[in-house]
Amino acid sequence: MALLPIIETPDPLLRRISKPVEAVDDDLRKLIADMFDTMYAAPGIGLAAIQVGVPKRVLVIDLQEPEEEGGDPVRDPRVFINPEILEASDTFQVYSEGCLSVPDQYAEVERPDRVRARWLDEKGDTHEEELDGLLGICLQHEMDHLEGILFIDHLSRLKRDMVLKKLAKSRKELAKRAA
């Protein structure tokens, strides 16, 4: 397994639309394993292949939620290949989102609170399920990456500019410390 470099905004690759996966094979499964390793190390709860420079419609999610409050996180890795949203609810939920490609920045984003989705898993089996809560939000966030959309694109221009200024400031501070 390998840790892959995570691409950060404003890299233009993040704006590229990902291509459908043609075959679920060992090469794809290796990419998926590397994506999980990269996501856990970051740490994060979701990662799209385009974020590691691979423009394929693949994403991984693991909310790592504890079974009981204050308990240890429980891993429940999920793979979504060629995911599609079949139906979205008319009701919305606001959630504070962050992104490994926009490091250490968070903003409230409004999304449908439930979606019905279909996808393939790492064995090539088809799944269709209604997803809500954090899993539904995370799936929508990661699927945006497949279309070249970042969570900051859902913000007003003023809020997006504020997030990008804070990101630039934190990068300058990191560069100063590294020098």
pTM: 0.94
Domain positions in the chain: 12-178
Verify whether residue 142 is a known catalytic residue.
Answer: yes
Q: Give me the DSSP letters along 149-178.
A: --GGGGS-HHHHHHHHHHHHHHHHHHHHHH
Distance set, CA 95 to CA 43, 54, 73 (Å): 19, 27, 20
Structure tokens at 141: 């966030």
CB atoms within 10 A of CB 139: 23
Do 113 and 91 meet the contact criterion of CB atoms below 8 Å apart?
Answer: yes
Tell the residue number behind the tokens 């809560």, with chain if given: 133
pLDDT for res 62: 97
Q: Mean pLDDT, to the nearest integer, of 141-153?
A: 98
pLDDT in tens, 2-25: 999 999 999 999 999 999 999 999
pLDDT for res 179: 80
**pLDDT category, 110, cuts 50, 70, 90?**
very high
Q: Is the pLDDT of residue 166 over 80?
A: yes
Do 61 and 139 meet the contact criterion of CB atoms below 8 Å apart?
Answer: yes
pLDDT for res 20: 98
Q: What is the pLDDT of the chain when averaged over all its residues? A: 96
pLDDT in tens, 37-93: 999 999 999 999 999 999 999 999 999 988 888 888 899 999 999 999 999 999 999
Superfamily in which the 12-178 domain is placed by CATH:
Peptide deformylase (3.90.45.10)
Structure tokens at 104: 């250490």
Catalytic, out of 8, 142, 147, 173: 142
CB atoms within 10 A of CB 167: 18
